[in-house]
Structure 1
Amino acid sequence: MEEALVSVIVPALNAATYIRQTLDSVLEQTYRKIEVIVVDDGSSDSTAEIVEEFVVRDPRFQLVRQSNAGVGAARNTAIKKARGKYLAPLDADDLWSPQKLETQVACMERSGINTGLVYCSSTLIDEQGKVLHSGEIKTLEGRLRHAMVLKNLLGNASVPLFRTSALEKVGLYLTRAEEQGGQGCEDWDLALRIAENFDIRVVPEHLVGYRQCASAMSVNVGGMEASFANVMRRARQRNGDLPPAAFRWSAGYFYQYIAEKCYESHHYPSCIRYLTRAIAANPVLVLNPRIYKTGTKSLLSLMPGPMEKNGTGTDALAKIGRKRPFKLGATFRHLELARWSAALEDGACR
């Protein structure tokens, strides 16, 4: 049987630092039947010149230039030019493992026409490409409408392989205008619409290197919060039968994520503020060991210098940060399991 064409779509804005590595990871794919559409979204650096080098060397690559319109619009530009049976988005600073497309295409081909998306797990890398953290192996698959409301199971925009016909049914990415001043959750919005209409399958492997950059959009807290609010408002309108608690819990998980981003960026007061909002929206999170770890470290970082040196007031916090998670972790995991089990009853999930 003839291999299906995969259209790789790469939005790029001032991505000269990393885009060569990103496109090299595409060239290294063991699945060879691809086209690569890079959309330069109004870059002022040498992004376009670097991409042109790939275009000259490999006829599978093409460069499209446009005025800055935002990441969602840039992806949509590429999708409208794509000819593939499948679509694979890749952000301009992320990396793919060589088998990424091959394993996802094989899963999609086995699954049949009712599957709209195949995803995988990611490894967090730093600006130098060093591994910071290997996330959990994702295993959830099936009808994931409810579960996808609770959390963005994909984790980032470079993970999914879409069936092109599925996007023809549910629509494309939200654009900047549709985001109403926000940006950062447009990939979640699309995954939600897929989950509402199609099965989702998973390849339980780490196949994406998701880059954590201090200057990246991923730390644009205000934009992401506005984007999240817009995406969840739209999801409520489409899914009126889901319990309101699902959206409150989703907000809790999201605020926890934002708090962790604030901590990584050394914005400790903001971290504490978002942790408080997370627990208010999703009280079960008070038992989450990660909440204690992040919160304790943020509080310690806010202590005045003399207090830190003398140890005044910090010993108790440090003990909480070390010991409390071990006592609460089992209870949190039990409650989380019950919650996710209820969510997964929404469909035939394995």
Structure 2
Amino acid sequence: MGAAGNVSVIMTCHNEAAFIEQAIRSVTAQTAYGRVSEIIVVNDGSTDQSESILKGLAHEIGKLKILKASGIGPSAARNMALAEASGAFIAVLDGDDIWAPRKLELQLPRLESDDRIGLVYSDFYDFSDAGISDAKLFQVRRYAASDPNLLERFFVRGGPVIPSSTVYRREVFEKAGLFNTELRLAEDSDMVLRIAQDWSIQYVPGGLVYKRRHGRNASRDMAGWEAAAERVAELAMARVPRLAGLQARRKSYRHSKIASAYLSEGLNLEGWRYLLGALRLDPFNRRAYAIAVLALFPSGLRKGVSRWVKRVQAMAAGRGEPKVDEKRV
């Protein structure tokens, strides 16, 4: 186990020559960079200029270590980096994402404040261009160390817990195991569920990571994500049989999310099919009813109404707006 206070940053890179330097420099720009003991990047079979860029950065940045793999996938690449990591805390950053400057400064004290916490995570900005001019804040579901039903809640509702927003206590991997190499999608949700069996997870307010969007749409990715989500559920129920009693609610909640994604793209037939499926699985799914009401508004008004509803829900829950307003990178 690494020395207390040291942070190993693990990164994966697969044909991300256009982004990898910006990602690494967002680590070196951390206000708590002194807490970082090493930056381990697994170059996973890149065929672009990633290797030469990484070699150049390694000459400049003493903490940067480069490992080579041959297209083994994100989970196996993260496990490869974990095997080399020496820090007491493990922070994940994908090769095309960017950290806000105070990310570690804000997250590490919360992780260190309570030995029950195995993982901290935060909100994120979704963006597409290099200048981050189109970044949009997404506030994620907020779980706390004080929640006695964390595992059950996460099984039903999920996150998202964006990998690049996370910092782990090293011990969780010793007990929960490494990232599941069977999964090419949803491996992060699988890991959170395994951690939640024995540890707490803790939300830290604010958009502390910028997640790059690559122009994919819901209809293109949905089949793969749905299959992966079902496999994650199967694995969780095999480990914790009592979760099987929540499977209908879980599927209903997922179907309502899929419906929302389809409807937002104007794919109304697919959206309503999933929405009705959600209500058949769980007639008390309030999210599904809310989506159905929103779907009745003209498409041009839906986003504005949806934002207003979310704002009211946040205020009713006592959440308000994020406390942290990070400067754009």
Identity %: 28
What TM-score, normalized by structure 1, do the two folds share? 0.76
What TM-score, normalized by structure 2, do the two folds share? 0.80
Structure 1 residues 102, 270: closer, same or farther in 2, change over 3 A?
Answer: same
CA contact (8 A) 1:4 1:85 kept: yes
Q: Secondary structure at the match of 2:15?
A: coil
In the TM superposition, what is the alpha-carbon distance from 1:268 to its structure 2 partner? 6.0
Structure 1 residues 15, 227: closer, same or farther in 2, change over 3 A?
Answer: same
CA distance in 2, matches of 1:86, 1:239: 27
Q: Quick check: 44-53 or 209-218, which moved more? A: 209-218
Match in the other structure for 2:289:
287
CA distance in 1, matches of 2:126, 2:261: 13
Match in the other structure for 2:12:
11
Q: How does 1:237-252 map to 2 (within 5 A)?
A: 237-242=238-243, 244=245, 246-252=246-252
CA contact (8 A) 1:219 1:261 kept: no
Structure 1 residues 121, 259: closer, same or farther in 2, change over 3 A?
Answer: same
CA contact (8 A) 2:218 2:261 kept: no
CA distance in 2, matches of 1:81, 1:207: 26
Q: How does 1:177-216 map to 2 (within 5 A)?
A: 178-179=182-183, 183-215=184-216
Structure number with greater Rg is 1
Q: Secondary structure at the match of 1:158?
A: helix
Match in the other structure for 1:125:
127
In the TM superposition, what is the alpha-carbon distance from 1:139 to its structure 2 partner? 3.9
In the TM superposition, what is the alpha-carbon distance from 1:38 to its structure 2 partner? 0.9
In the TM superposition, what is the alpha-carbon distance from 1:213 to its structure 2 partner? 1.4
Runs (5+) with no aligned partner, structure 2: 318-329
In the TM superposition, what is the alpha-carbon distance from 1:319 to its structure 2 partner? 9.1
Match in the other structure for 2:320:
none
Structure 1 residues 259, 240: closer, same or farther in 2, change over 3 A?
Answer: same
- Could you report, residue by residue, the CA deviation over 1:52-104 in whole angstroms, capped at 9, with x for unpaired residues? 22211111111111111111111111111111101111111111111111221
CA contact (8 A) 1:90 1:157 kept: yes
- Could you report, residue by residue, the CA deviation over 1:240-268 in whole angstroms, capped at 9, with x for unpaired residues? 22362x32222233334444555666766
State yes or no: 1:155 paired with 2:158: no
Q: How does 1:79-98 map to 2 (within 5 A)?
A: 79-98=82-101
CA distance in 1, matches of 2:48, 2:266: 28
State yes or no: 1:318 paired with 2:318: no
CA contact (8 A) 2:122 2:161 kept: no
CA distance in 1, matches of 2:281, 2:300: 23
CA distance in 1, matches of 2:266, 2:31: 40
Give the counterpart letter for 1:169 in structure 2. K
CA contact (8 A) 2:43 2:50 kept: yes
Give the counterpart letter for 1:237 in structure 2. A
Q: Secondary structure at the match of 1:88?
A: strand
CA distance in 1, matches of 2:266, 2:18: 23
Give the counterpart letter for 1:167 in structure 2. F
In the TM superposition, what is the alpha-carbon distance from 1:333 to its structure 2 partner? 6.3
CA distance in 2, matches of 1:51, 1:99: 24
Runs (5+) with no aligned partner, structure 1: 297-316, 338-350
Match in the other structure for 1:254:
254
Tell me how large the CA RMSD over aligned residues is: 3.3
Q: Secondary structure at the match of 1:78?
A: helix
Q: How does 1:73-112 map to 2 (within 5 A)?
A: 73-112=76-115
